[in-house]
Chains A and B, each alone.
Chain A
């Protein structure tokens, strides 16, 4: 491997990755910065709930469906920042993964790149490494912004769990990106760049529905979405057991898609 394709791809994609990273990072920063205001409000609500002895338990369950009332900064971030981060980052990862195939087809540069003396498997691998680096960069920026935000407004808050969550969230983004790459290989060159959003948006909704219901059968659909093992409220607030089965299913699925992608890419025609 010469890493020339990797260098070229990083050079070409860095600006858009930084725009995504900074835009989402700033949004998360503002969410964290207003935490002191929110904390006062949360304390007041908790006092009200304690005083209302006749409050219907169903109402509290309803509030729990949306993350419940946070008791500290990490829980606040789980409900107000991380859930938003999940869907935005999922969209970014799917667009990035889809672009491995779609970008060169769309710009019609694949004809020149595929006539270079480089094995197609090396070409694809270098593109995949480029996506890996960009997602790591993206997550490092998000976690960096989160750390700075908490250092300003709640310096004593223990945010270790946020970094563990960030690690698994990064893995989930890689899975989404490589699934989108596989989708790109199935599509014709002229496919819309927004097409890969078909992956994160429905999957995110599946996880949301699974966690919002009491119905045990319906809750099983959570295994159909990689957002489940990195679901922020369960991870950071309710401290659910890690969904190893869901993690395993999507880890395996991603691996299969990557292998099939290498096979399909080797035989891909330029029409």
Chain B
């Protein structure tokens, strides 16, 4: 569906992306993760033909992408990280304009407006950041395109609307649509993505299945009071906090509980490491 091969983009002497290669398969939700300034938006703009690469190539639907190429946008829904529309126009006029440019099922459009609780009588300029974002979601989804490219789609949405949005894109996935989702909110990546790529300073650190990541997850152990010298195969000391010590553990859980029972502890927490902690490990390693 999307093929990116050794994509490189510099803005003068400033790095956008250094060397990015990835392949997004039809029907999957592909998460693209990285902090601000890592090159996520640059890659997305290059994928949309809004930026010219210095090197490398990108193809979508097996067609090469270049600046100014427009015809493939009938099959793409795009949502930028910040929604900018026409401030002086009412939301319903904005939606009516974008609807006129695409092949839109009116009942689906009405459902989006309803589910996202969008007030279409207000002027766009008077909306809050979150409500502007909702307009962006409706515009991206209204024509139910084959490919959705979403740049930080949930930032600024309240938790309820984040949930509604994730349901909407899962529904599109069930209909066989492909979704490319850039985010730095790892919880949403964790919930919906099939595969995830991690980008740092313009380079891809890894691309992995979410399932594999979950399998390899280690446990996070927190014990009260502090003990820095616990020693067990698979148990690694991380850091101390006030009154407690943090460890990571990979191995048989029974062996761990048996080992911990030999200590006189006030409290203990054993939990799965979340994606954020996992990625920060990769980031620190720079692998």
Which residues of A pack against B, CB within 8 Å? 2, 4, 8, 11-12, 107-109, 111-112, 114-120, 266-271
Chain B interface size, under 10 / 10 to 19 / 20 to 34 / 35 or more:
20 to 34
Considering the complex of A and B, which 9 residue pairs feature the smallest CB-CB distances, nearest first?
A108-B84, A270-B50, A117-B73, A266-B68, A117-B74, A115-B78, A116-B101, A120-B68, A269-B51
Query: What residue of chain B has the Cβ atom nearest to residue A4's Cβ?
Result: B100
A-B contact pairs, 18 of them (CB 8 A): A2-B100, A2-B101, A4-B101, A8-B86, A12-B88, A107-B84, A109-B86, A111-B45, A111-B50, A112-B78, A112-B80, A116-B73, A117-B72, A117-B74, A118-B101, A119-B71, A120-B70, A268-B67
- B87 interface contact, C-beta 8 A: yes
Residue B263 lies at the interface, judged by CB distance under 8 Å to chain A: no
Contact A267 B52 (CB under 8 A): yes
Interface residues of B (CB under 8 A from A): 11, 45, 48, 50-52, 67-68, 70-74, 76, 78, 80, 82, 84-89, 93, 97-98, 100-102, 139
Question: Chain A residues with Cβ under 8 A from B52's Cβ?
Answer: 267, 269
Say yes or no: A109-B101 contact (C-beta < 8 A), given A115-B48, A270-B45. no
Which residue on chain B has the smallest CB distance to residue A114? B50
Quote the shortest CB–CB distance from B193 to chain A (angstroms). Answer: 23
Nearest chain B residue, comparing its CB with the CB of A15 = B88
- Distance between B107 CB and nearest chain A CB, rounded to angstroms: 22
Shortest CB distance B53–A (Å): 11
Supplied contacts A12-B86, A107-B86, 4 more A-B pairs, CB within 8 Å = A2-B101, A112-B84, A114-B50, A120-B70
User: In whole angstroms, what is the CA distance A115 to B147 when docked?
Assistant: 13
Cα A28 to Cα B252 with chains together (Å): 90
Known interface pairs A269-B51, A269-B67, A270-B50; A115-B76 also in contact (CB < 8 Å) = yes
Kindly provide the distance from the CB of B182 to the nearest chain A CB, expressed in whole angstroms: 14
Query: Which residues of B sit under 8 angstroms from A267, Cβ to Cβ?
Result: 52, 67-68
B97 touches A8 (CB 8 A): yes
Most buried by B among A8, A112, A114, A116: A112
**Known contacts A107-B84, A112-B84, A112-B139, A117 near B68 by CB under 8 Å:** no
The minimal Cβ–Cβ distance linking A189 to chain B, given in whole angstroms, is 12
Contacts of A271 in B (CB 8 A): 11, 51
Asked if B70 and A117 make an inter-chain contact with CB atoms under 8 angstroms apart, the answer reads yes
Q: Is the CB of A117 within 8 A of B102?
A: yes
Q: Which of B50, B93, B100, B101 contacts A269, CB < 8 Å? A: B50
CB-CB < 8 A to A111: which residues of B? Answer: 45, 50, 80, 84
Residues of A within 8 A of B72 (CB): 117
List of A residues within 8 angstroms of B76 by Cβ: 115
Give chain A residues whose Cβ lies under 8 Å from the Cβ of B71: 117, 119
CA distance A190 to B98 in the complex (A): 26
Q: How far is the CA of A269 from the CA of B82 in the complex (A)?
A: 18
The docked-state distance in angstroms from the alpha carbon of A271 to that of B45 is 9
Q: Compute how far the CA of A51 lies from the CA of B9 in the bound complex, rounded to whole angstroms.
A: 79
- Given the complex of chains A and B, what is the CA–CA distance between A266 and B70 in angstroms? 10
| Most central of B50, B71, B76, B139 by chain A CB within 10 Å | B50
Instruction: Look across to chain A and name the residue whose beta carbon is closest to the beta carbon of B45.
Output: A270
Residues of B within 8 A of A266 (CB): 67-68
Q: Is the CB of B73 within 8 A of A115?
A: yes
A108 CA to B82 CA in the complex, in Å? 9
Query: Which one, A2, A112, A120, contacts B85 given CB within 8 A?
Result: A112
A112 vs B137: C-alpha distance when bound (angstroms): 12
Residues on the B chain within 8 Å of A115, using CB: 48, 50, 73, 76, 78
A160 to B48, CA, bound (A): 54
- Which chain A positions have C-beta within 8 A of B87? 107
Chain A residues whose CB sits within 8 angstroms of the CB of B48 once the complex forms: 114-115
* Docked complex Cα distance between A146 and B53 (Å): 55
Complex Cα–Cα for A65 and B98 (A): 55
A114 to B84, CA, bound (A): 13
Q: Is there contact, CB below 8 Å, between B85 and A109?
A: yes
The residue in B68, B98, B102 that gathers the most chain A C-beta atoms within 10 A of its C-beta is B68
In the complex, A268 Cα to B102 Cα: how many Å? 23
Pick the contact of B101: A12, A107, A117 (CB < 8 A).
Answer: A117
The answer to whether A12 and B89 touch across the interface, beta carbons within 8 angstroms, is yes
In-complex Cβ contact of A109 among B50, B84, B93, B100 (8 A) = B84
Most buried by A among B52, B70, B82, B100: B70
Residues of B within 8 A of A116 (CB): 70, 73, 98, 101-102
